[in-house]
A and B are shown apart, each in its own frame.
Chain A
Amino acid sequence: TQTVSQSDAHVTVFEGDSVELRCNYSYGGSIYLSWYIQHHGRGLQFLLKYYSGNPVVQGVNGFKAEFSKSDSSFHLRKASVHWSDSAVYFCAVRNSAGNKLTFGIGTRVLVRP
């Protein structure tokens, strides 16, 4: 059974700051990790994914994430946040059969001007 842990429920940053959102997973099968973003009142939108190769993956809008097998982590980063990055961010791990995602509880990011 796969599990995902997002240790920070809330993160507050100022516009222009960098941000790192932490995600740790537990799964013994083939790795398939992804991040999704949910703006207020909207459905989730895909940001990026990792399943093999370069452990640093680039996503949309300047987001990137780094996979670490030794740390069982897949942290999301952005170098300079914009007010529009205020949202809830979900990390997810897929099972080996490739038919189900397990989501973390989400990290709410507030970007202050």
Chain B
Amino acid sequence: EAAVTQSPRNKVTVTGGNVTLSCRQTNSHNYMYWYRQDTGHGLRLIHYSYGAGNLQIGDVPDGYKATRTTQEDFFLLLELASPSQTSLYFCASSGTGYAEQFFGPGTRLTVL
């Protein structure tokens, strides 16, 4: 079964802080995604990747960077965190663009 893990599960930082969210998948999937989930908005795509070294811009990329270091690992970086980035962040992976996505358990980020 697909396994996607995220760390940390909870993070509190201050405005202007530097945050890195980590995601690892162990299914040899090519595609990986970062979403944020907010009440009234559902899930919104931040960045995604087709494979190691590849990065694609999502629908709400402002204020976020991402890096795919290996096929397994995808990182989301907030270099100057703002309160508007307080959210629940999900990572997902899929074998192809048309396959179902497997989601991690989420990281709750609070920016004070």
Contact = CB atoms under 8 A, between A and B. Distances in A.
Interface of A: 32, 34, 41-46, 49, 51, 90, 94, 97-106
17 contacts: A32-B98, A42-B105, A43-B90, A43-B103, A43-B105, A44-B90, A44-B92, A46-B100, A46-B101, A46-B102, A51-B98, A94-B97, A94-B98, A98-B97, A101-B101, A104-B42, A105-B41
B56 interface: yes
Contacts of A41: 105
Give the size category of B's interface with A. Answer: 20 to 34
Interface of B: 4, 31, 40-45, 48, 50, 56, 58-59, 90, 92, 96-98, 100-106
A46 to B, nearest CB: 4
A99 B90 contact: no
A90 B40 CA distance: 12
Contacts, number: 52
Contacts of B45: 100-102
Q: A34, A45, A99, A106 — which one has the most chain B CB atoms within 10 A of its CB?
A: A99
| Cβ-closest 9 pairs across A and B | A43-B103, A98-B97, A46-B100, A105-B42, A103-B43, A103-B42, A99-B97, A44-B103, A98-B98
